Amino acid sequence: MERKTAYGPYEAVMLGVQLEDDGYAFYSRVAEASTDHRVKNLFSHLAEAEIEHKRIIREEIEPMFAPEWYRDEDQEMMAEYLRGVEKQPVFPAPDKAVEFARSMKDTHRAVDIGILAEERARDYFAFLRDSTQDQQGKDIFHRLHLEEIKHLELLLNLRKEL
């Protein structure tokens, strides 16, 4: 996956946190709105996984890369800036998720968006794994990469069932 090399490791980690936040918002809203129990169950599971991934990033990875001079308000300002310059949104706006869950046609679209998102997340965490020099960081990013592969397989299997 090709990424902007101007991002430092901390900024890359912050983009990972934003990716997990966006994934949680999308998966949880589709799960709430879906009438198909297969979609509801899988998307609920994926929403919970996004929370766990965010915890891993915040508690295990961020402390390795966070500069001491970043304050909370600096972090939020940087996150907002990075969201603005990142031109490849993975998930649609959260308010669109409910629309995707309303009909079978839109359910297929929601699953397709999940597949695309998990592919991008898989590639993003592989990029971070391969870019960091710290072995502990490599191991954690690899663990997240493998989790995204599992999520992708679940979504691909669901797509076949629908």
pLDDT of 121-154, one tens digit each? 898 888 888 877 778 888 988 999 999 999 999 9
Q: Which residue has the tokens 């649609």?
A: 92
pLDDT over threshold 90, residue 120:
no
The answer to whether 101 touches 40, Cβ cutoff 8 Å, is: no
Cα 15 from Cα 141, distance rounded (Å): 13
Q: Is the pLDDT of residue 66 over 90?
A: no
Distance CA 71, CA 113 (A): 34
Per the document, the length of the chain is 162
| Pair of tokens at residue 135 | 């072995």
Could you give the CA distance from residue 23 to residue 48 in angstroms, rounded to a whole number?
Answer: 10
pLDDT bracket for residue 7 (50, 70, 90): low
Q: What is the CATH number of domain 9-161?
A: 1.20.1260.10
Chain centroid, CA 160 distance in Å: 23
Q: Is the pLDDT of residue 3 over 50?
A: no
Q: What are 57's two structure tokens?
A: 């990033």
| Averaged pLDDT score across all residues of the chain | 80
Q: How much is the average pLDDT of 9-33? A: 85
Q: Where are the domains of the chain?
A: 9-161
pTM for the complete prediction?
A: 0.80
* pLDDT tens digits along 26-53: 899 889 888 889 999 999 999 999 999 9
Say what the pLDDT of residue 153 is.
98
Query: What whole-number distance in Å separates Cα of residue 18 and Cα of residue 54?
Result: 9
Rounded CA-CA distance 30/96 in Å is 9
pLDDT score recorded for residue 133: 76
